[in-house]
Homo-oligomer: A and B are copies of this chain.
Amino acid sequence: MTLRLYDLAGAEPDRRFSPYCWRIRMALAHKQLAVETIPWRFTEKAEIAASGQKLVPVLVDDELWVADSWTIANYLEDTYVDTPSLFGGIAARRLTRHYSSLADGLVGAIFPFIALDILHRVAEKDRAYFRESREKRVGMSLESFVADRDSKLPAFRASLTPLRQTLKAQPFLGGDEPLYADYAVFGPFQWARCISPFGLFEDDDPVKQWRGRMLDCFDGLARKAVAYDT
């Protein structure tokens, strides 16, 4: 039985842009597990009701529904024990939890740059939902929210200093090879490039170079995705 993954899609079914789904796409590849991805839209809550909640990623393994990226990653690690470890041991798994939190923080930090680009690329039927839910969250129109994005770029780039410092010292967060920590943090950057032409990086940024190494993983899984060349 092939694994199935509900995967957020835009207007085009093959524009897959969830930062949380990308973590799991990469994790599945790391675990050498084939997956059938099912394009899913924000408003298709009924399709994933069996998961007991309303957000993707949702993994379906035979009859079992698993939601939440951290839960899915742990499920894969504990279920498919004969393929490469996502974490690298007991302590490493616990240390990886914070990378998941850092990645969530990155989603928040990147959103002010791409919020309106997302609106323009989600499926027609998702547009009103996306605008209403996100405008409620940020307390203003998406147009106002992104209006001064260029002025926010230096502070965003400065906020990447710790990541930059680490990635100058070693090729991946996991060391010489990527681990789930890398996939978690890569998710928000892949989200951005799949949905927005806005350039977040300076060309010589070591974080961008690491992103390039991530795009090359698994025979270019993430590089081959429908995305912008940012």
Bound-state CA distance A104–B163 (Å) is: 11
Assess whether A64 is interfacial by the CB under 8 Å rule. Answer: no
For A139, list chain B residues within 8 Å (CB): none
Establish whether residues B105 and A173, one from each chain, have CB atoms under 8 Å apart when the complex forms.
no
The A contact surface, by secondary structure, is helix
Chain B, Cβ-Cβ closest to A172: B94
List the B side residues contacting A85 at CB < 8 Å.
91
Interface size, chain A (Cβ < 8 Å): 32
Q: Are B163 and A98 in contact (CB under 8 A)?
A: yes
Q: Point out the residues of chain B lying under 8 angstroms from A166, CB to CB.
A: 97-98, 100-101
- From 123 to 182 in chain A, residues with beta carbon under 8 angstroms from any chain B beta carbon are 161-163, 165-166, 169-170, 173-176, 179, 181
Check A96 for interface membership: any CB of B closer than 8 A: yes
- Chain B residues contacting A162 (CB-CB under 8 Å) are 98, 101-102, 104-105
Given A88-B90, A105-B161, A162-B104, answer yes or no on A179-B95 (Cβ-Cβ < 8 Å). Answer: yes
Contacts of A97 in B (CB 8 A): 166, 169-170, 173
Q: Are A163 and B101 in contact (CB under 8 A)?
A: yes
- In order of increasing CB-CB distance, the 4 nearest A-B pairs are A88-B91, A94-B175, A101-B162, A91-B92
Q: List 17 A-B contacts (CB under 8 A).
A: A88-B92, A88-B94, A88-B95, A89-B90, A89-B91, A89-B92, A91-B179, A94-B175, A95-B96, A95-B179, A97-B173, A98-B162, A101-B163, A101-B169, A104-B165, A105-B161, A108-B161
